[in-house]
Amino acid sequence: MPFNLIRDKGREGRRGYTLPGFDVEKIELSTALPEKALRSEKPHLAEVDEPTAIRHYTNLSRQNWGIDTNFYPLGSCTMKHNPRANEQAAATPGFAGLHPHQPEEQTQGALQVMHELQGFLAEISGLPAVSLQPMAGAQGELTSILMIRKFFEDAGDHGRTTVIVPETAHGTNPATASMASFKAVEVGLDEHGCVDVDELRAMVDETTAALMITNPNTCGVFERNIKEISDVLHEAGAFLYMDGANMNANLGRMRAADAGVDVMHFNLHKTFSTPHGGGGPGSGAIACSDALAPFRPDPVVEKRADGFALVRPEKSIGRMAAFHGNFGQILRAWNYIKMHGPELKDVTDMAVLNANYVRAKLGGTYRVPYDELCKHEVLVQPPKGKKALDIAKGLIDHGFHPPTIYFPLVVKEAMLIEPTETESKETLDDFVGAMLELAETEPEELEAAPTHAPTRRLDETRAARQLKARW
């Protein structure tokens, strides 16, 4: 059910918030500012009382599914439970009220959190240097590739023009390569859905700046040749960047540095449970080798004799954001890691167990294109004649948020299922039951789904053709 817009629920003159009165003389802006600078017509914003506003947004929230309300196995997004201790940590007035321009001696607690998280991420990746500044995974990617660009500029090597991405890469990878002024070129896959090492070897040359690899890849399969891949790149003087979107499969089981990764990003909002918020804020910290460390963005936190300090790395690419990154997410992730310590390995073990359990239960009915051990997510295809889109919409009627569909692009009718470690066997069994039932459901019935959601299927073409993006 669509709800009226908040503006339609108001009336001129209503107010939803009372401000303190004037305790100094009120100045007339018309005398303080040039007349033409002043607004001629007031903005048409809602004019509502607080109860109306609360009811409006509460009711809107009820038209929305989250992890709190439904199983949400969205592949590559790691929709794990968001512990509320993290929210309490972030709301602590001593952090929430801290201004980013306060001098370092006034922010030692915040800097210690950042310094410790830098250390945690270095230990988890095996890579010695960290920056917490990138605001989301895609910005972590861009930061990494800009660092690589700057490395080559600094070395006087101006021939590095290409970045290689596998066919299975997230769309952000090639988009990042372009944004950093590299040409993105694709490398194909072997029979396991992994990077074809022979093809890669033939492609890599003195124009290659880096390969962007996701491990486990977006088919949910571990890139078993990653060490060989890094050797191929390093022999050509190029770098291996790892997209850390799928780090939930690696904690304590595989360290990026051991595989020859030079730089990687983390998604703190995926692996370390900070809430996804409907599409952010995320946080895309990066970790890198000593060779790339001087190029990290400004600032990083260092511990000095007199306390923690914000420092600009020697050959920094510059700032990726106005301040120190999404500090609230940094604090949440730090709190999450503190509550787990070395038990982070159990997080990965349970995530991989859950994905393989779903694989085992769906196999036979659903096609599993790479039917071997998967990692934290499993890639399946509907039975012949069925569409991923229809199964997805059918799942909604069963009370399950659909998995990622039509990605990765290399597999037709792809359904990428990531259960995460925080789901019980009962939930997985119910989900599998629904999936199996949908596999048997008549196509006409599936095409009608969803029938029990807030809306039926939407006319997406109309939205684009008759663009209306505001009241």
Closest-CA residue to 148 (of 169, 176, 116, 120) = 176
Shortest Å, Cβ 370 to another protein: 11
Does 5 help bind another protein (rule: CB under 8 A)? Answer: yes
Question: In this chain, which stretch among 152-160, 200-208, 235-243, 458-466 interacts with another protein, using CB under 8 A?
Answer: 458-466
**Within 13 A of 312's CA, how many CA atoms are on the CB side?**
8
Looking only at residues 129 through 148 of this chain, which bind another protein when binding is defined by CB under 8 A? Answer: 135-139, 141-142, 146
Buried b (16+ CB within 10 A) or exposed e, 265-274: bbbbbbbbbb
Considering only CA atoms, give the Rg of the chain: 25
Question: In this chain, which stretch among 198-206, 378-386, 398-406, 434-442 interacts with another protein, using CB under 8 A?
Answer: 398-406
Shortest Å, Cβ 311 to another protein: 15
Looking only at residues 10 through 29 of this chain, which bind another protein when binding is defined by CB under 8 A? Answer: 10, 14-17, 19-20, 22-27, 29
Looking only at residues 39 through 78 of this chain, which bind another protein when binding is defined by CB under 8 A? Answer: 39-40, 42-48, 50, 53-54, 56-70, 72, 74, 77
Nearer to another protein, 177 or 384 (CB): 177
Shortest Å, Cβ 30 to another protein: 10
Q: Report the alpha-carbon distance of residue 418 to residue 441 in Å, rounded.
A: 23
Helix (H) / strand (E) element for 183: namely strand 183-187
Q: Which of 266, 293, 404, 446 binds another protein (CB under 8 A)?
A: 404
Q: Report the alpha-carbon distance of residue 230 to residue 265 in Å, rounded.
A: 17
3-state secondary structure at position 124: helix
Does 382 help bind another protein (rule: CB under 8 A)? Answer: no
Shortest Å, Cβ 14 to another protein: 7
Nearer to another protein, 238 or 330 (CB): 330
Shortest Å, Cβ 291 to another protein: 20
8 Å CB contact between 317 and 293: no
Q: Which of 154, 190, 198, 258 binds another protein (CB under 8 A)?
A: 258
Does 280 help bind another protein (rule: CB under 8 A)? Answer: yes
Estimate to the nearest angstrom the gap between the alpha carbon of 228 and the chain centroid.
28
Does 209 help bind another protein (rule: CB under 8 A)? Answer: no
Q: Report the alpha-carbon distance of residue 126 to residue 68 in Å, rounded.
A: 33
Instruction: Using CB under 8 A, count the residues that bind another protein.
Output: 201
Does 113 help bind another protein (rule: CB under 8 A)? Answer: yes
Nearer to another protein, 359 or 384 (CB): 359
Query: Between helices 327-340 and 344-362, what is the axis angle to 10°?
Result: 90
Closest-CA residue to 375 (of 406, 350, 400, 345) = 350
Q: Order of strands, edge to edge, in the sheet holding 378-380?
A: 378-380, 415-417, 404-405
Does 342 help bind another protein (rule: CB under 8 A)? Answer: yes
Question: In this chain, which stretch among 200-208, 338-346, 379-387, 411-419 interacts with another protein, using CB under 8 A?
Answer: 338-346
